[in-house]
Chain A
Amino acid sequence: MDISESVLNYFLIPAVKAVVVVILVATAAGILTYIERRTLAFLQVRKGPNRVGPQGVFQWVADVVKLLMKEDVVPAKAQHFIHFLAPVLVMVPGMAVFAVLPWGPEFTMRIPGLGKITTAWYAADLNVSLLLVLAITSIGVYGIILGGWASNSKYALLGGLRSAAQLISYEVPMGFAVVSAILMARSLSLVEIVEAQRTHHMWFILPGLVSFLLYFVSGVAETNRIPFDLPEAESELVAGFHTEYSGFRWAIFFLTEYANMITISAVATALFFGGWLRPFPSVKALAFLDLIPPILWFVLKVAAFLFVYIWFRGTFPRYRFDQLMALGWKTLIPISLGNVVLVALAALGGMRGLRILGTVLWVVAAGAFLVVTRLRTAKPPTAPLVPVPVGARKAEA
């Protein structure tokens, strides 16, 4: 290996990739804000932003410019340094995670003057990349807590505290859900997990139905989104931990939230939905689906998850703090523990075991769903009200 090649492989290409990733992520987060507003508007029978550019697609650019221009207000009694540090602490891990997200397989391209280069749609393929994702994303919570505390505002403090408890609690079921995927693929590398779904001839959503639901619910909680958006609950804590932030520091919190949504969706895609693989990767009859490039498959899957995020936001009310904790500790964690045991037992049986588990899970779920919905149709939409004769002293208790 000569020096120029190692410079190329170990410095130049990663550097280019790093820059591209950061730019792309920032852009994607910006665009996502537009898409969210637009989608919410459609859910809510209105039109949404449609003025800047065709159909308003440059709305996010205008917003970013506006936020850059805004005065950066720091409360007089805030801890200035920490107040400044918090957005950085939130943003850096949010961006760093993208280094290991497997957007596509390896590919070879020819660059004039450099010859053939084999590289991949990811910045790095670590053998512990899944661990890295979990590790790095949990750093972000420090930024939120510190930002909430340093603002010297009671609302921000409450938001920061809620956030700390919430993020730490939901790390646990999320970790267990991820463990089950690791057990199925027998690897910690995201790239290998994706490839394992090719060798297993199925996406891990089949045996990992429960794992996926746990992962996604925890993921929604990790990203502070409705119905788990307590740290920034607008109607309760004004704006939660970023109440006292303005201008671009606030924008950093905001954009990182969207970047985190992309991260969670991308990891879910890689773990349970076959990453860049097309549906039924081993069925030859569906080979025409290969016309869509792998990276596009990945992006489509991520987009579907993001849509679900937005759909959730358009539909659900918000949990209360203690209910959120109860859900995390009393429901999700026991289920996730049981699920890990179940998946581990199935994984002992190798591919056959996983298939049996997947079949059983889906049949039970679908059967119960059909039966229960059939039975439910008879039920009136409202619980009956107690009819009381007029003028009676009190409804008969």
Chain B
Amino acid sequence: MSEIVGTVGAVEDSGDTMLGLREMELNFGPQHPSTHGVLRIVLKVDGERIVSARPDIGYLHRGTEKLFETETYPMVIPHTDRLDYVAAATNNHAYVLVVEKLLGLEIPKRAQYIRVVLDEMQRVSSHLLWLATAAIDLGAITPFFYTFREREVILDLFEDYCGARLTLNCMRVGGLEEELTPGWIEKLRAFTEDLGSKVDEYEELLTENRIWKQRTIGVGILTTDRCIAWGVTGPPLRASGLAWDVRRALPYECYPELDFEIPTRKNADTYDRYLVRIAEMRQSRRILLQGCDWLAANPTGEIRGKVPRVIKPPAGDAYASVESPKGELGFYLVSNGGNKPYRLRVRPPSFINLQALPEMAQGHMVSDLVAIIGTIDIVLGEVDR
């Protein structure tokens, strides 16, 4: 059972193609400019057309889930930052949600709103990063700088709030550690109101551009049924036409009180996923404005519930999930009553969405593979954990 089952390097030769030409095996990664980290894909190509693609992951495996089992509940939070390291707030959120669920804790309203605001900021920042890298994968270098300009503001706001820009460690079991700094809401509101016109700028560069459309329309189609079969969640699922979002489907925190829509598209291709993410940024903007309003109207209040000094959830198991920018990010916690998680499993959306890559890439060209990897929006820290 524990012997080596198969080896990655040994791909059997599939023989000749029509013209007596051999298929070529191409190692795409792990050190390649557009695999977004250390993803390796073993491609079999016929000319430039992909016959088969086989992702090979694990280059960034750090054993985070093993590490979780050695840490007490509060100490796990900084480790969750490092899963999807461009969206640390949603990771924190999913983790604290599951612990709170098992503890049966009530979260103060104000903490809920601050959490939601942080989540949505993180969603915008993650989508901005996605847009930057996806555009650069397709050869458009300039959107990268425009989106990073906006992302920088979000990171500054994070820094103002919790002192870190990327690995935030900003949520705690039962609520939040820190109150907002004075003037933070105003800064956030100023940025948020500006965001709409900035998104218009990216759209003007890309949405109508004929090259962008040619490169993305009809590329990497994954219909709703296939999405569900592969467990794909997040923007790819919504781009296929199913308006399913954890924020609405399995509501958490104060999302039921907020007014926002779930953008969907019908064609399930790369272009639609692009449009869905763009629309999600606009929806996040709506949520952020509502959050700003609420927080400005309720400037004081508890931000942490009644948390026992030593967090020891009762024995049992629970699962909680949030809509991370990549899809449904879930944590499955098994507790044996001790002060450390007995088992803490991450349901990583990147990992599960990446599984659909071979199907999406089949029959496309090498250039499209780059677009498809970009459109799934993987973060290898989360894929490999």
Which segment, of A170-178, A233-241, A283-291, faces chain B? A233-241
Chain A residues 241 to 257 lying within 8 A of chain B, measured CB to CB, are none
B347-367: contact bitstring with A at CB < 8 Å (1 yes, 0 no)? 000000000000000000111
Cα A45 to Cα B266 with chains together (Å): 36
With contacts A235-B33, A236-B34, A392-B243 taken as known, whether A382 is within 8 angstroms of B215 at the C-beta atoms is no
With contacts A44-B145, A392-B243 taken as known, whether A235 is within 8 angstroms of B137 at the C-beta atoms is yes
| CB nearest neighbor in A for B208 | A381
Residue B57 interfacial (CB < 8 Å): no
Cβ-neighbour of A234 out of B33, B144, B243, B368 (below 8 A): B33
With contacts A227-B139, A395-B242 taken as known, whether A236 is within 8 angstroms of B204 at the C-beta atoms is no
Chain A residues 130 to 189 lying within 8 A of chain B, measured CB to CB, are 154-155, 158, 162
Q: What 10 pairs across the A-B complex have the smallest Cβ distances?
A: A318-B139, A388-B243, A395-B241, A44-B145, A235-B34, A317-B140, A317-B138, A320-B367, A385-B263, A317-B139
Cβ-neighbour of A317 out of B211, B261, B262, B264 (below 8 A): B211
Whether B241 and A394, one on each chain, are in contact in the complex, defined by CB atoms closer than 8 angstroms, is yes
Whether B249 and A385, one on each chain, are in contact in the complex, defined by CB atoms closer than 8 angstroms, is no
A68 to chain B, nearest CB (A): 26
Whether A316 and B207, one on each chain, are in contact in the complex, defined by CB atoms closer than 8 angstroms, is no
Residue B141 interfacial (CB < 8 Å): yes
Interface residue total, chain B, C-beta cutoff 8 A? 51
Q: A236-B370, A320-B214 are in contact. List 16 more A-B contacts (CB 8 A).
A: A154-B27, A155-B26, A226-B141, A235-B136, A314-B142, A316-B139, A316-B140, A317-B215, A318-B139, A319-B215, A321-B367, A381-B204, A382-B275, A386-B264, A388-B264, A395-B241
Chain B residues 103 to 153 lying within 8 A of chain A, measured CB to CB, are 135-142, 144-146, 149
Whether A45 and B140, one on each chain, are in contact in the complex, defined by CB atoms closer than 8 angstroms, is no
Whether B370 and A316, one on each chain, are in contact in the complex, defined by CB atoms closer than 8 angstroms, is no
Residue from B33, B243, B249 whose CB has the most chain A CB atoms within 10 Å: B243
With contacts A320-B365, A390-B248 taken as known, whether A383 is within 8 angstroms of B139 at the C-beta atoms is no
Residue B288 interfacial (CB < 8 Å): no
Find chain A residues with CB under 8 A from B212 CB.
Answer: 317
Cα A317 to Cα B206 with chains together (Å): 8
Residues on B facing A (Cβ under 8 Å): 24, 26-27, 32-34, 48, 135-142, 144-146, 149, 200, 203-207, 209, 211-212, 214-215, 224, 241-243, 248-249, 261-266, 275-276, 278-279, 365-368, 370
| CB nearest neighbor in B for A392 | B243
A-B contact pairs, 11 of them (CB 8 A): A44-B146, A230-B367, A235-B33, A236-B366, A316-B140, A318-B139, A321-B365, A382-B278, A386-B265, A390-B248, A391-B248
Residue A9 interfacial (CB < 8 Å): no
A112 to chain B, nearest CB (A): 52
Residue A198 interfacial (CB < 8 Å): no
With contacts A154-B26, A315-B140, A317-B211 taken as known, whether A394 is within 8 angstroms of B242 at the C-beta atoms is yes
Cα A220 to Cα B35 with chains together (Å): 28
